[in-house]
């Protein structure tokens, strides 16, 4: 007897529907599984057979064939266990195909019949809804994650026996099922931040640069001696960024779901990510990949901040990986079994010392030669520097600033200005693919960032004197546009351009 059960599989950070086809027929006893399966999927036949036995169902000796389609896509993971078991039960006559109509099933089985949690539930449920599936049967530990998706029924099961009871519509069995978990109010609210900009003494110029970067989603580099507050400022940038929208939140949460970083305690990410990798991080961990590609840190920072402290200490090859995602907002990973494109629309915030010891040009403390300084700075290539919108100096903080009684401006005040500037950008780019000034392509800069005669003459003079590249020229205009938005101005003025060029310090 033939049966067909709908399930889902992860592909990149998205998902595709897959189908478990089962055929039970007379013949030499065997249990065959086909469909370009990985080792853990092939092992499912033993897990399923024993789980069925311990649930009280024996598979009669006959020829059993299981195919997971589409056959041209490699299947990974243990999430196929439960749909395979249900497919076998339909083939054996314990259930009918009507019981699984418009239903998607995923879950790993323990040998005792327990249904264990799996990765990537959120994108699978999202795809199921798009494909017209009306119900998803998930492990109980994944139901809160699945319940994020609206207008689709989510059923949580603890074991195989509960799954059979639900599908067979057994009232007694259903009475013992755990109701589908919904996101808690805390999960749907914004997280409270531990840090605040009011904690920072001095560094007004750097804080202003951080405000501009947050308003236009620009990349930013801070250069200064140890203890000048670079890391403190970077950690507080998320406190002035607007909340994720519902669509952005689902997008970010899907990435974390695929990476296995969502659980019952956090089913929906509402605050923009902030990731701070150590400089010893490998290229693969930063970019993503592996035998079966998985998202790396630059994808986990999507819609948020990637902070790279001590930038020159990162391996050169690791830094060069940033070239493509900084420009294209995505990264392509090609491996033997799959080629994936991961989103990587993040805000890069970096910090570095001006020399190996950190105190250049203070010759009372710095003992580095000019050759040492040049070699240290040259670890960051020209193409990477070209892709950074704001480069700002963080000087040593004086004792008067540290002992001042007045508190600095709070994050909430700065955030209010940032949100106001963001609203101006959203109105300007309504109906387009853009959301922030930093996203503007060179072809659309003239349309959205027009310059007057005086402004054009000034920026041409700056271009020639500073010997700028075309990319930096366009970034200068985009930063000027963000400064104008913060000022509430409809047009870019010479004052805005002059301030923007002040954030292009040379090293």
Residue 189 pLDDT class (50, 70, 90 cuts): very low
| Range(s) of the domain holding residue 222 | 197-433
160: part of which helix (H) or strand (E)? helix 160-167
Residue 274 pLDDT class (50, 70, 90 cuts): very high
Q: Do 323 and 269 fall into the same domain?
A: yes
Q: How many domains does the chain have?
A: 3
81 close to 33: Cβ distance less than 8 angstroms: no
* pLDDT tens-place string over residues 415-467: 999 999 999 999 999 999 999 999 999 889 999 999 999 999 999 999 999 99
**CATH number for the domain harbouring residue 143:** 3.30.230.10
pLDDT value, residue 186:
45
Q: Do 167 and 242 fall into the same domain?
A: no
* pLDDT tens-place string over residues 111-140: 999 999 999 999 999 999 999 999 999 999
pLDDT value, residue 396:
86
**CATH number for the domain harbouring residue 307:** 3.40.50.300
Q: Do 380 and 272 fall into the same domain?
A: yes
Q: Do 205 and 166 fall into the same domain?
A: no
Q: Do 423 and 453 fall into the same domain?
A: no
Distance CA 144, CA 138 (A): 10
Is 397 inside any structural domain? yes
Q: Do 39 and 117 fall into the same domain?
A: yes
Q: Do 208 and 324 fall into the same domain?
A: yes
Is 190 inside any structural domain? no
Number of other CB atoms surrounding residue 403 within 10 Å: 8
Distance CA 261, CA 272 (A): 15
Q: Do 266 and 365 fall into the same domain?
A: yes
Answer with the residue of higher pLDDT: 397 or 412.
412
Q: Do 268 and 319 fall into the same domain?
A: yes
Is 187 inside any structural domain? no
Is 188 inside any structural domain? no
Is 311 inside any structural domain? yes
Whether 400 has a pLDDT exceeding 90, the answer reads: no
* Angle, CA of 38, 43 and 45, to the nearest 5°: 120
Q: Do 225 and 117 fall into the same domain?
A: no
Q: Do 50 and 154 fall into the same domain?
A: yes
* pLDDT tens-place string over residues 294-334: 889 999 999 999 999 999 999 999 999 999 999 889 998 87
304 close to 346: Cβ distance less than 8 angstroms: yes
């Amino acid at each position: 007897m033939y049966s067909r059960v709908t399930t889902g599989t992860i592909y990149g950070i998205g998902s595709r529907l897959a189908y478990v086809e089962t055929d039970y027929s007379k013949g030499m006893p065997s249990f065959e599984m086909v469909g370009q399966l990985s080792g853990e999927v092939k092992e499912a036949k033993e897990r399923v057979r024993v789980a069925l036995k311990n649930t009280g169902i024996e598979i009669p000796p006959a020829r059993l064939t299981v195919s997971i389609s589409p056959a041209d896509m490699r299947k990974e993971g243990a999430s196929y266990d439960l749909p395979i078991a249900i497919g076998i039960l339909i083939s054996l006559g314990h259930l009918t195909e009507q019981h699984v109509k418009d239903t998607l099933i995923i879950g790993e089985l323990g040998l005792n019949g327990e249904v264990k949690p799996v990765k990537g539930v959120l994108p699978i449920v999202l795809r199921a809804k798009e494909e017209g599936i009306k119900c998803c049967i998930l492990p109980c530990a994944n139901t809160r994650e699945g319940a994020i998706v609206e207008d689709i029924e989510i059923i949580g099961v603890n074991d195989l026996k509960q799954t059979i009871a639900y599908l067979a519509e057994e009232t007694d069995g259903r009475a013992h099922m755990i109701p589908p978990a919904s996101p808690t109010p805390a999960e749907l609210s914004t997280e409270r931040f531990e840090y605040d900009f009011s904690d920072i003494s001095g560094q007004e110029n750097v804080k202003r640069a951080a405000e501009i970067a947050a308003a236009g989603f620009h990349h930013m580099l801070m250069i200064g001696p140890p203890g000048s507050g670079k890391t403190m400022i970077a950690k507080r940038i998320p406190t002035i960024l607007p909340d994720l929208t519902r669509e952005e939140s689902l997008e970010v949460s899907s990435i974390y779901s695929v990476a296995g970083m969502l659980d019952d305690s956090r089913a929906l990410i509402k605050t923009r990510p902030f990731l701070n990798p150590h400089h010893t991080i490998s290229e693969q961990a930063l970019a993503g990949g592996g035998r079966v590609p998985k998202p790396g840190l630059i994808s986990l920072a999507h819609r948020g901040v990637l902070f790279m402290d001590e930038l020159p200490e990162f391996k050169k090859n690791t830094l060069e990986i940033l070239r493509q995602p900084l420009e294209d907002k995505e990264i392509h990973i090609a491996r033997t079994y799959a080629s994936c494109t991961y989103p990587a629309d993040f805000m890069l915030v970096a910090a570095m010392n001006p020399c190996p010891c950190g105190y250049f040009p203070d010759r009372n403390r710095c003992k580095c030669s000019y050759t040492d300084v040049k070699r240290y700075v040259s670890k960051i290539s020209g193409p990477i520097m070209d892709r950074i919108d704001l480069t700002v100096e963080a000087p040593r903080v004086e004792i008067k600033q540290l002992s001042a009684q007045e508190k600095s401006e709070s994050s909430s005040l700065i955030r209010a200005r940032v949100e106001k500037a963001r609203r101006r950008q959203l109105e300007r780019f309504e109906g387009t693919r853009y959301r922030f000034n930093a996203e503007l392509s060179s072809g659309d800069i003239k349309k959205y960032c027009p310059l007057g005669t005086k402004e054009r003459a000034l920026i041409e003079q700056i271009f020639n004197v500073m010997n700028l590249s075309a990319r930096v020229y366009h970034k200068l205009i985009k930063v000027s546009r963000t400064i104008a938005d913060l000022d509430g101005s409809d047009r870019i003025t010479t004052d805005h351009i002059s301030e923007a060029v002040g954030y292009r310090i040379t090293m």
